[in-house]
Amino acid sequence: MDMLIGGKYVTAEDTEEVKNPYDGQVIDTVPIAHLQTAQLAIDEANKAKSSLVEMSAFKISNKLLNVCEKLTQNREEFAKLLTLEVGKPINESLVELDRSIETLKLAAEEAKRIYGESVPLDAGLNGKGFFAFTQRLPLGVVAAITPFNYPLNLTIHKIAPAIACKNTVIVKPPTEAPLTVMKFCELLNEEFPDGVVNVITGYGSEIGDYLVCSPEIDKISFTGSVTTGLMISQKAGMKKVTLELGGNDPLVVLKDADIEKAVKGVINGAFLNAGQVCMGVKRIIVEEEIADEFAKKLVGETEKLVMGNPLDKTTTLGTLISEKAAMQVEQTVDMAVKEGAKILTGGKREGAFYEATVIDNVKPDMDLVVNETFGPVAPIIRVKSLDEAIEVANDTEYGLQAGVFTSDYSAAMRCANEIEAGTVFINKQSTFRTDNMPFGGFKNSGVGKEGIKYAVEEMTKTKLIGLNLR
């Protein structure tokens, strides 16, 4: 597949193979762009700015709906490509497609709601006799840099609000899984003027870095790891930056919890997309009194998962993004075992597959739970009290989302108030998001929020216009 720059499809001398992590087969190749091509994309995105600014909100909204319609018509085909490049079960890919369609619809609606407010200057000293109002204006060019795990929906969470508020976009899709995003951008290009959406492929450390450092880009909207996010925040200069980064989300199970419900929360939260989810359940903090019963039930449910060909509709656990990624998870789990943790089920790797693994007796200082483990692992940390549960939940550099299972409302409210995370769900695991909610973490999990309306706030600037009527 080729890059898309200024409405034209562009290739490069060097190309990179995109492989199916399930069987190693080459799905397609994509260009490895040079920096000159990145500059061309920047030039084209800047040239196209006026075409969007001059377009009415009504027209932009309708065009986004047209793209939505085309994506709906091609839902199955997109889902298949997503499964081939990411290795996630086809049913999960179909859910990602449904959410992508929803995200686009939300952006089409939001395109009609971008306006300012009147400001009572007479409430300030010497303000009498003035009339003032604000306008929300596009920033200009937004660079969208996205990760491999939910490539389509996470990229739409950047492109769609950016266009809704009249910014042009340069997309740098994930190196491991760029195809679904590239195919989606073709649909956008059919609707919008040349240069409104540009796609450039290549290495993040070169192309991504070039976009981050360019003074001709107005905003970096990044989703990915903390390591890359920190680098971006240091290099972006004065441009606006949104960083949606990694998570190490706790799932707290208190002694009065509905255990079946909590177990279901872990199955959905720790093993979805083979555990490669930013808001995945990565630390299960369980009160000692119920820990044995909880662990036994969790093992029973975990063993029901079906590992297999991701295109097969009965598969519930697919591969990781690569064999290398699976090996990393294997090493981290093996190290925890050496330090005294106990595998209750799973723990084996086969190529890019890693079994759904429940691991008990995990201590809060083990690497497995100090860093973000991006794989299908459910580590149980046993605690003696609510106080200790909150302390362990907060003992991390991350703060994306959290889940608490309890039937005690005062304990629930203590957790909600005291756990340092962008979202705390009561009786639901952290691995839950609707595409309209404000989404974004505290601490090293990020800066800024997404969820169309909130992304639009971060992709516009406010101008005040004051009239002296004295």
Nearest residue (CB) to ligand NAD, 195 versus 247: 247
Candidates 244, 287, 355, 458; catalytic one:
244
**CA–CA separation, 208 vs 222, rounded Å?**
10
From the CB of 23, what's the least distance to ligand NAD, in Å?
21
C-beta neighbour count of 292 within 10 angstroms: 12
Identity at 97, one-letter amino acid code: L
Q: Which is nearer to ligand NAD, 93 or 223 (CB)?
A: 223
Distance CA 208, CA 322 (A): 21
Instruction: For 173-211, give the DSSP string.
Output: --SSS-HHHHHHHHHHHHHSPTTSEEE--S-IIIIIHHH
Residue 156 beta carbon to ligand NAD: minimum distance, rounded to whole angstroms: 13
Q: Which stretch binds ligand NAD (CB under 6 A): 20-28, 124-132, 172-180, 302-310?
A: 172-180
Pairing of strands 357-360, 423-426: unpaired
**Nearest one of 330, 371, 369 to 226, comparing CA atoms:** 371
Residue 278 known to be catalytic: yes
**Catalytic pick from 68, 185, 278, 415?**
278
In the complex, what is the shortest distance from the CB of residue 59 to ligand NAD, in angstroms, rounded to a whole number?
A: 30
Cα–Cα distance, 393 to 419 (Å, whole number): 7
Closest by CA position to 155, among listed 204, 75, 99? 99
Are 367 and 308 spatial neighbours (Cβ–Cβ below 8 Å)? no
The Cα-based distances of 392 to 40, 207, 255, 397, 425 in angstroms read: 49, 39, 16, 12, 17
Residue 149 in contact with ligand NAD, rule: CB under 6 A: yes
Interface mask toward ligand NAD for 400-429; x: CB under 6 A: x-----------------------------
Which residue type, as a one-letter code, is found at position 420? E
**Could you confirm whether 323 is annotated as catalytic?**
no
Pick from 95, 98, 444: which is nearest to 272 by CA? Answer: 95
Binding to ligand NAD by residue 146, rule CB under 6 A?
A: yes
When asked if residue 21 is in the footprint of ligand NAD (CB under 6 A), the reply is no
- Closest approach, Cβ 425 to ligand NAD, in A, equals 16
- Taking the C-alpha atoms of residue 298 and residue 253, their distance in angstroms, rounded to an integer, is 12
Total number of residues that touch ligand NAD (CB under 6 A): 30
User: Is 231 near ligand NAD (CB under 6 A)?
Assistant: yes
DSSP-derived pairing of the beta strands 130-138 and 118-119: antiparallel
Residue type at 434 in one-letter notation: T
Residue 264 burial (10 A CB sphere; 0-12, 13-18, 19+): middle
Q: Which stretch binds ligand NAD (CB under 6 A): 46-54, 205-213, 257-265, 330-338?
A: 205-213
- Which H/E stretch holds residue 467? strand 460-468
Nearer to ligand NAD, 323 or 339 (CB): 323
Q: Is 208 in the site for ligand NAD (CB under 6 A)?
A: yes
Within positions 326 to 345, which residues make up the interface with ligand NAD, using CB under 6 A? Answer: none
Site membership for ligand NAD, residue 175 (CB under 6 A): yes
398 binds ligand NAD (CB under 6 A): no
Q: Does 245 bind ligand NAD (CB under 6 A)?
A: yes
With CA atoms as reference, report the closest residue to 221 among 240, 237, 234: 240
Residue 237: Cβ within 10 Å count: 12
Q: CB of 325: closest distance to ligand NAD in angstroms? A: 8
- Residue 278 binds ligand NAD (CB under 6 A): yes
Residue 145 contacts ligand NAD per CB under 6 A: yes
If phi > 0 it is left, if psi is from -120 to 50 it is alpha, else beta; for residue 195 that is left
Indicate which single residue of 25, 205, 331, 462 sits in contact with ligand NAD (rule: CB under 6 A): 205
Chain residues 374-393 in contact with ligand NAD, contact rule CB under 6 A? 374
Using the rule CB under 6 A, give the single segment among 18-26, 85-93, 125-133, 220-228 that binds ligand NAD: 220-228
Q: How far is the CB of 247 from ligand NAD (least distance, A)?
A: 5
> Which positions are annotated as active-site residues?
244, 278
The binding site for ligand NAD (CB under 6 A) comprises 145-150, 154, 172, 174-175, 204-205, 208-209, 212, 223-225, 228, 231-232, 244-247, 278, 372, 374, 400, 446
